[in-house]
Structure 1
């Protein structure tokens, strides 16, 4: 098959899966809106947004596409709630990038802190994510501590320029990414120590991988979030990173962080036999993380390789196969 034919085939495949999931998401947000029977949503109306559930889905699809695909493969009765949780995470994660002043970012974080403190005490703020999250939290009795942990960790990062050590980055990933897994498990009604251990390590792997994937994005904004101990260990010049250079010191630092992320993935998968099979679907997002690390290795750990910025066309199919095989 020639290059042109392969390109056409890939384009056709992308359109096919985009159409398939587009139809599926319309079904889950519009036709199955009553599945969860959110009591908190029964009398709510959100200004300028006719369907808060659809708004949350679109927010996740736009800014967190891989987890959007994973959410679509969850059992239907929890999809709406998990989309609300993921939309909340998008809102919080975007604060640093969309605000020009730290004071404004702090005000946004305080809004969400106040919202969590008022849950169950009255009408939630009339924003789509707040309304949906209020319903999801009430219906599934989601632990508010995980939401508070996410906000506190993101809030602290507003006043910091990076991480001092890899261990500090791992702790941050545990509080943010792993907390989302804990909340997904709560929606599924799963309480299992092995599932929690797997969630912890997958979250850490995702957090480290996210830092690696975002290096080109941050470099364009003259930011470097590689942990300081790695920078010192490899005598790395931050200016080289910001200029997009792939010197050996940059490759070595990336290799170290990627190896740590891969270790967490392998540790999480070592619990496969002990994790309840119905919990495996909560960890499907381990696959995109794994695929990126594999592609990074193939690129000789050059995070600036343009191929790493392109989506994997077969990801929807591979996620579906993982679900069928009950693997993560």
Structure 2
């Protein structure tokens, strides 16, 4: 037992070795560290494709923060729309992420619709406004995070309706948690994207978040939003008995989501608490254990 699993376990523990294991040098690890580690624990046949898909997602996600004008952002989104079309015509542009995406598409016959849906939704997000309600945030999460999970399932060779349902809920939970995790950063830039209906319900203004308020009404907003993410995780796990084991590696991200929700609960839903800005060093170990147990 030890001779079989201890070497891999030690590699997982060593954060420096993780970088050496990555078969995709162009992957921006600092932008999606959790996704990077999760991808390394996928079966070898799907690992490189997973990293390519996550790199593609990161490229799109960082457009909004990296451009000063919406027009430039729209041009970059158009580049990726054209790139996807060219990939499916077997003529990818000479660009590292594009080349890896083309390889993944050829190997796993990935569905073009999911990639284009991610791009279109990211393009809409360039409007740079708060979500009007929680349903709008969930729709955004479904079209981005859930679409990415559908592609990951395809790279694992999984075609199962229960797995798709679980992916839908996990993607929504992922989008909600990402919105919460980004709140301190966005607030420091005088931007607030949290659902307006929940903020209005608890009489929490955008200015409260911009100045980093830790009052009860702000915590109540975070509680309501975090609770919805928890509900989606519970729904996703209700399908676990009907999902093929081969799909579970695509859902390892639930470890990260669960970790954040537990930590924000321990600080009484103070989204600006300093402990939430630090990465949990045990996440790689927890991911490994979950992958070994074949659960999510």
TM score, norm. by length of structure 1: 0.85
In structure 2, the CA distance between the partners of 1:314 and 1:111, relative to structure 1 (3 Å rule), is same
For the residues of structure 2 that align with 1:14 and 1:101, how far apart are their CA atoms? 43
Q: What does residue 17 of structure 1 align with?
A: 14
In the other structure, the counterpart of 1:45 is none
Residue 221 of structure 2 corresponds to 253
How far 1:240 sits from its partner (Å)? 1.1
The whole-number CA distance in structure 2 between the counterparts of 1:80 and 1:229 is 41
Partner Cα separation in structure 1 for residue 185 and residue 143 of structure 2: 23
Could you say what secondary structure the match of 2:170 adopts? helix
What secondary structure does 1:162 align onto? coil
Provide, for residues 46-97 of structure 1, a one-character-per-residue CA deviation record: whole Å limited to 9, x for no partner: xxxxxxx3213xx1x1210001110000001111111110000000000000
Q: Which piece of structure 1 moves more, 271-280 or 94-103?
A: 271-280
Q: Is the CA contact (8 Å cut-off) linking 1:195 and 1:279 kept in structure 2? A: yes
User: Does residue 64 of structure 2 align to residue 96 of structure 1?
Assistant: yes
- Root-mean-square deviation (CA), in Å? 1.5
Q: Distance in 1 between matches of 2:262 and 2:141?
A: 20
Alignment pair present for 1:117 and 2:85 = yes
Query: Unaligned 5+ residue runs, structure 2?
Result: 1-9
1:205 aligns with 2:205: no
Query: Is 1:166 aligned to 2:163, yes or no?
Result: no
**Compared CA separation, residues 122 and 269, structure 1 to 2 (3 A):** closer
Give the distance between the partners of 1:271 and 1:15, measured in 2 at CA. Answer: 28
Q: Tell me the distance in 1 between the aligned counterparts of 2:71 and 2:51.
A: 29
Q: Any conservation in 2 of the 1:178–1:204 contact (CA below 8 Å)?
A: yes
Inter-partner Cα distance in structure 1 for 2:140 and 2:89:
30
**Which residue of structure 1 aligns with residue 74 of structure 2?**
106
Larger Rg: 1
Write out per-residue CA displacement over residues 103-127 of structure 1, whole angstroms, 9 at most, x where no aligned residue: 0000000001111122232431111
1:128 aligns with 2:96: yes
Give aligned pairs, total: 287
Q: 1:54 aligns with which of 5, 15, 25?
A: 25
Aligned to 2:240, what secondary structure does the other structure show? coil
Q: CA distance change for structure 1 residues 113 and 22 in 2, over 3 Å: closer, same or farther?
A: closer
| 2:232 aligned residue | 264
**Aligned counterparts of 1:244 and 1:14: Cα–Cα separation in 2:** 39
Contact 1:223 1:242 in 2 (8 A): yes
| Stretches of structure 1 lacking an aligned partner (at least 5 in a row) | 1-12, 30-52
Mapped to 2, the partners of 1:15 and 1:148 lie a distance apart of 34
Mapping for residues 1-328 of structure 1, pairs under 5 Å? 17-25=14-22, 29=23, 53-56=24-27, 59=28, 61-328=29-296
Following the alignment from structure 2 to structure 1, what is the Cα–Cα distance between the partners of residues 123 and 34? Answer: 24
Deviates more, 1:227-236 or 1:210-219: 227-236
The verdict on how the C-alpha distance between 1:235 and 1:157 changes in structure 2, with shifts beyond 3 A counting, is: same
Deviation of 1:24 (Å): 2.8
